[in-house]
Amino acid sequence: MTRPTTFAFTLLELVIALAIAATLAAFAIPSYRSHIARTHRVDAASALYRVAQFVEGAASDAVPSLPPGIDQAPQFGAPVYRVRVLPVGDTNGGYSIEAAPVETGPMRDDPCGTFTLDATGQRGNRNDASGTTLTSSECWNTG
């Protein structure tokens, strides 16, 4: 009589596989979240440049109203940032644009806060909610 062979995992093999998976997840999840935050910041910066081109092309003295799609970042899909043109000021060279995180969005607590760009090319970040702010080069991905 031959005994049928059964194939199965032992408890030790299962525990080792779970430990490896938990270790990978411990490193992968924070890295993934960091990558997503950088991607949203790039979307906000590109939206500001896109709106700056629109405002420069509009060539009017009044604050232009932005068409749908150009008033948010990312341009398509659910908005993560809302983009708006601010009135003319003494120091902004003719206009100023800001991309503010949506209140209920994933970037609401981001250290970069609100992205700003004016007609002189001055880039900046303003974070009214928290005390920690990343440097401008970190937020704009130039450093």
Please tell me the distance from the alpha carbon of residue 55 to that of residue 27, in angstroms, as a whole number.
Answer: 43
Tens digit of pLDDT at every position of the chain (143 positions):
677 777 788 899 999 999 999 999 999 999 999 899 999 999 999 999 999 888 888 766 667 788 888 888 888 888 999 999 887 776 666 788 999 999 988 888 888 889 998 888 888 888 876 555 566 777 887 55
Count of Cβ atoms closer than 10 Å to residue 84 Cβ: 14
Domain ranges (residues) in the chain: 11-139
| CATH code of the domain made up of 11-139 | 3.30.700.10
The pTM assigned to this predicted structure is 0.77
**Nearest-5° Cα angle at 122, 119 to 127:** 115
